[in-house]
Amino acid sequence: MSRIKAKIMTILLIALALMMLFPMILTVTNSFMGSQEIENNYSRNDEELDQNTFFSMKLIPDSVTLRQYYDILIAKHKFLRMFWNSVFIVLPIVAGQVVISSMAAFVFAKLKFKGKDVLFFIYIIIMMMPFQVTLVPNYITLDKLGLIDKYSAIIFPGVFGAFGVFLMRQFMIAIPNECIEAARVDGCSLLQIFFKIALPLSKGGIASLAILSFIDNWNMVEQPLIFLKDTNKYPLSIYLSKINHTELGIAFAASIIYMLPMLLMFLYGENYLVEGISRSIINDEGVDTSEYI
């Protein structure tokens, strides 16, 4: 009986996985279709819509073509420009957030100072706030600093994100205090303890933070639309929303190229990501978090 239940559960999980993967599979196969074939599949006039007809979705193209990839990678320079705009925005955010969050997390996890719990509680509140809540004060601050229409208007707020501090703190808490005490006895300074003890023991957290931060900022839409006035500075995430219904073939190909960096990041750091999630859960359930100072 248990084997039958296991087989049924396996079949259900496979069916669920296929349902979740179907949009991605459809996007990949349609990116190799010709523009005319895509138009025939997805374009319907008003008369056909009145007859309650459904769009036909083909997984296997009649003829395979790379025309869409040629258009966006070679013929249309705007796509590549926006791709590199995304790179120039996202990479500094990820690097800066890893550095700043690691330092702040070490302080919250292993040092004693007055008002630490209150300050961390404020971090949690800020982390839970949606972007729209802080939009107006952020815009006013950036405008006063003269950063509107500059990449720094997006990079600086991203570097000091609260989520990175929360995630890295969960890893820093799990570092045994005995290791830090031993380093102090050997004469290590606080910076040496951070770089030689805390960071090496938090590689999983750093990888998890880098992956999550990259995915989150790679998909940003509101910040560039609000803080950047020059459309030539827009990242790739804006490009997909600007494609009209007459360029469906380009939309499919652009979506594939757009998701590749995120997919590769996830496949490379899947184990670190799982470790980061499980570590944060374990620490929340009760790990000795006594400070050494």
Least confident of 102-111, 115-124, 191-200, 271-280: 271-280
Q: What percent of the chain stands above pLDDT 90?
A: 9
Better-scored residue on pLDDT, 283 or 221:
221
The answer to whether 156 and 143 are in contact (CB under 8 A) is no
Question: Half-sphere exposure of residue 61, counting CA atoms within 13 Å on the CB side?
Answer: 20
198 close to 172: Cβ distance less than 8 angstroms: yes
Are 104 and 165 in contact by the 8 Å Cβ rule? The answer is yes
Tokens representing 44 are 């319907």
Torsion of CA 12, 14, 17, 19, to 10 degrees: -70
Beta-carbon count within 10 A of 44 CB? 14
Distance, in Å, from the CA atom of 141 to the CA atom of 153, rounded to the nearest integer, reads: 10
pLDDT at 181: 85
Q: Which 8-state DSSP code applies to residue 200?
A: G
pLDDT at 279: 60
Report DSSP state, residue 59.
Answer: S
How many degrees, rounded to 5, is the angle at CA 216 between CA 31 and CA 81?
55
**CA atoms of 102 and 200, how far apart (whole Å):** 11
Residues 156-159: contacts with CB within 8 Å, 24+ apart?
157/223, 158/93, 158/96, 158/97, 158/213, 158/217, 158/223, 159/92, 159/93, 159/96, 159/97, 159/100
Residue range 282-292: mean pLDDT, rounded: 45
User: pTM for the full model?
Assistant: 0.80
Question: Mean pLDDT across the stretch 247-265?
Answer: 83
Residue 3 identity: R
| Per-residue pLDDT tens over the stretch 139-180 | 898 888 888 999 999 998 889 888 888 888 888 888 888 888
Q: Is the dihedral of CA 99, 101, 102, 104 positive or negative?
A: positive
| DSSP secondary structure code for residue 232 in this structure | G
Q: Residue 49 pLDDT more than 70? A: no
Helices in 75-161 by DSSP H: which ranges?
Answer: 77-110, 116-128, 135-144, 152-159
Identify the helix (H) or strand (E) that includes residue 166.
helix 162-173
pLDDT in tens, 83-117: 899 999 999 999 999 999 999 999 888 888 888 88
Q: Which range among 4-18, 128-142, 218-232, 238-252 shows the weakest confidence by mean pLDDT?
A: 238-252
Q: Is domain 76-284 classified as CATH 1.10.3720.10?
A: yes
**C-beta separation of 180 from 110 below 8 A:** yes
Cα 200 from Cα 13, distance rounded (Å): 37
What residue spans define the domains of the chain?
1-65, 76-284
Q: Is the pLDDT of residue 280 over 60?
A: no
